[in-house]
Amino acid sequence: MNSCRRITCSDWRSGLSVVFFRTNCRRCPEVAASFSRSQTTAAAAEHAPGSDTGEKPRLRAIDLARKVQQEKAKPPPATEPPVSGQQKRVTELKRYSLQLQNVHPNVLAKHLHRSVLYQDKDVVITNKPYGVPVRDDSGATCIASVLPVLSKMLDGMKIKSDTRLFPSLGLEKETTGALLLARGEEVVEHILNLNRNNQVERKYWVITVGVPVPSEGVIDIPIIERVVTGTQPHFKMALSPLFRMNDAGTGVTKVRAHRQAHQAVTKYRVLDSSSGCSLVELQPFTGAKHQMRVHMAFALSCSILGDHKYSHWSKLAPQQLPERVLGKLGLEQSKIRHLPLHMHARQLTLSGTRAGDINVSCPLPKFFTQTLKRLQLTPPDKKDDK
C-alpha cells in the first residue's frame, strides 16, 4: 500500500533543519505540489538582496542605473575661486616672514648660516631674508638676537670660541640682500671708518612704479622727519630742499638749511623699463633714514613697488597702482596691501680690509625675480645671455 512519510534532515553547514515528504502515494498530489512550491520559495529567499544567509547580495542592473542617476543628480562640490600665482606668492611670503620672526632663534640662525655669501676672520656677509628686523628692542626675534648662535655655527659647535658677531651696516626690516656682520667691536669701528671714507660701496636694486627721467643722475636733497596731521597722525621722512623756485618762476633761490635736516645723496641708474615700471640701481652716498625711498617717491615721483609708507604723503594707505600694472601682476587693488617692498641689497664692496678688496653679489629673492618676469623687466646680467 502506498504511504507518505515525513522526513527531517539537518544541514551541518547552516545548522538548519529541513522537513520534506517522501511520497509514493498517488492520492496525495497536493502534498507533492506544496513541497515543490516551498522549495522554490526557499531558493528565491536565499538569493534575495538583504537576505541573512551571509552571502554578498548581487548588484542588479536596475540598482546600478539608479545609483548612477543619483550621483548625477548630486550638486557639484563647492570649489574655491582660483587664486592667481602672484597672490599665492604674496601669501607665502607673508607667512614665511612671520614664521621667521616667531620661530626659535636656532631656526633663524640656521637660515642665516645657509645663506652666508662670504666670510673671513673679520667679516661675514649673509643674505638677509624679507621681513626680519636686524635689531628689535621689543623682544621679538631679530637677527641681532641670534648672532651668538650663528657665531657658534660658523666656528663649529664643538669648538670653544669667544668670537662675537655684530651688525655693522644694517638693513631695513623689509629690505633683502647682503647684510654685513663684523667679528668683534674693533672690526665694527674699522668698517665705519671705511664707510666714512667712501671705501664701502653698496648698490641696491629696486622696482619702481614709473620711469625716472632722466634715466640716471644724482639726487642731492636733504631729508627731515615731519609729522603728518589728519585722522591718523604719523611721522614720515620728507624732502628738505636747499633751493626753491623764485617768485617769477625764472630760476631758483637758495634757502637756509633746516638744522634738523639730514644730508642725503643718492645716485640712480635705470637698468630696464617696461609696462610702466622700471628696474633701477641705487647707490646711497649717505646713510639717512629711508633716504632712497624718499628720494624715489618725492624727488622723482617713482615710488618703489610695495612701498606703502611713501606712496602717499597725507595718509596711511596701501600703494595705489595703475590698472596696467595690476593686470601684469595679476592682482586686485584690494590685495595690494600684501605686496612686499621690492628693495634688494644687490652688491657690497669693501676696500682696505686685511683680506683685500671684497666684492659680493647677492642673488635676488624668489618674489623679486617673479615680479621681474611678470613686468617683463630684464636685469643686465640676463641681457648678456641673450
Q: pLDDT tens, 185-213?
A: 999 999 999 999 989 999 999 999 999 99
- Candidates 133, 235, 93, 118; CA nearest to 182 is 118
Peptide bond into 214 cis (omega under 30): yes
The residue with cell 536596475 is 62
The answer to whether residue 247 scores a pLDDT higher than 70 is: yes
Structure letter (DSSP) for residue 80: P
- What are the boundaries of each domain within the chain? 85-375
CA distance 298 to 212: 12
At 63 the pLDDT is 79
The answer to whether residue 344 scores a pLDDT higher than 50 is: yes
- Provide the residue type at 276 as one letter: G
Confidence of residue 116 (pLDDT cuts 50, 70, 90): very high
> What average pLDDT does range 103-126 have in this prediction?
93
> What average pLDDT does range 315-330 have in this prediction?
92
Grid cell at residue 297: 617717491
3-state class (DSSP) for residue 212: coil
Tell me the C-alpha to C-alpha distance, in Å, between residue 308 and each of 148, 304, 313, 321. 34, 9, 10, 11
- Candidates 346, 272, 336; CA nearest to 305 is 336
- For the ranges 131-135, 139-143, 167-171, 238-242, which has the lowest average pLDDT? 139-143
> Between vectors from CA 246 to CA 240 and to CA 251, what angle results, nearest 5°?
100
CA distance 343 to 177: 9
- Candidates 272, 299, 319, 324; CA nearest to 217 is 299
3-state class (DSSP) for residue 218: strand
The answer to whether residue 20 scores a pLDDT higher than 50 is: no
Percent of the chain with pLDDT over 90: 53
Q: Are 318 and 337 in contact (CB under 8 A)?
A: yes
The whole-model pTM stands at 0.76
Cβ neighbours around 91 below 10 Å, total: 13
Confidence of residue 12 (pLDDT cuts 50, 70, 90): very low
- Provide the residue type at 224 as one letter: I
CA distance 147 to 304: 30
> Between vectors from CA 93 to CA 381 and to CA 360, what angle results, nearest 5°?
35
At 195 the pLDDT is 92
Structure letter (DSSP) for residue 68: H
> What average pLDDT does range 177-186 have in this prediction?
95
- Candidates 179, 195, 82, 61; CA nearest to 126 is 179
Grid cell at residue 56: 554578498
- For the ranges 6-10, 68-72, 174-178, 213-217, which has the lowest average pLDDT? 6-10
Percent of the chain with pLDDT over 70: 78
Rounded to the nearest 10 degrees, how much is the dihedral formed by the CA atoms of 135, 181, 223, 362? -110
Q: What is the pLDDT of residues 216-229, one digit of tens each?
A: 999 999 999 999 88
CA distance 314 to 301: 15
Per the DSSP assignment, residues forming a β-bridge with 374 are none
- Candidates 376, 316, 367, 311; CA nearest to 343 is 367
Superfamily of segment(s) 85-375: Pseudouridine synthase (3.30.2350.10)
Q: Are 164 and 314 in contact (CB under 8 A)?
A: no
In degrees and rounded to multiples of 5, residue 252 shows phi and psi of -115, 155
3-state class (DSSP) for residue 367: helix
Which has the higher per-residue pLDDT, 369 or 22?
A: 369
- Candidates 207, 237, 177, 178; CA nearest to 341 is 207
The answer to whether residue 350 scores a pLDDT higher than 70 is: yes
- Provide the residue type at 34 as one letter: S
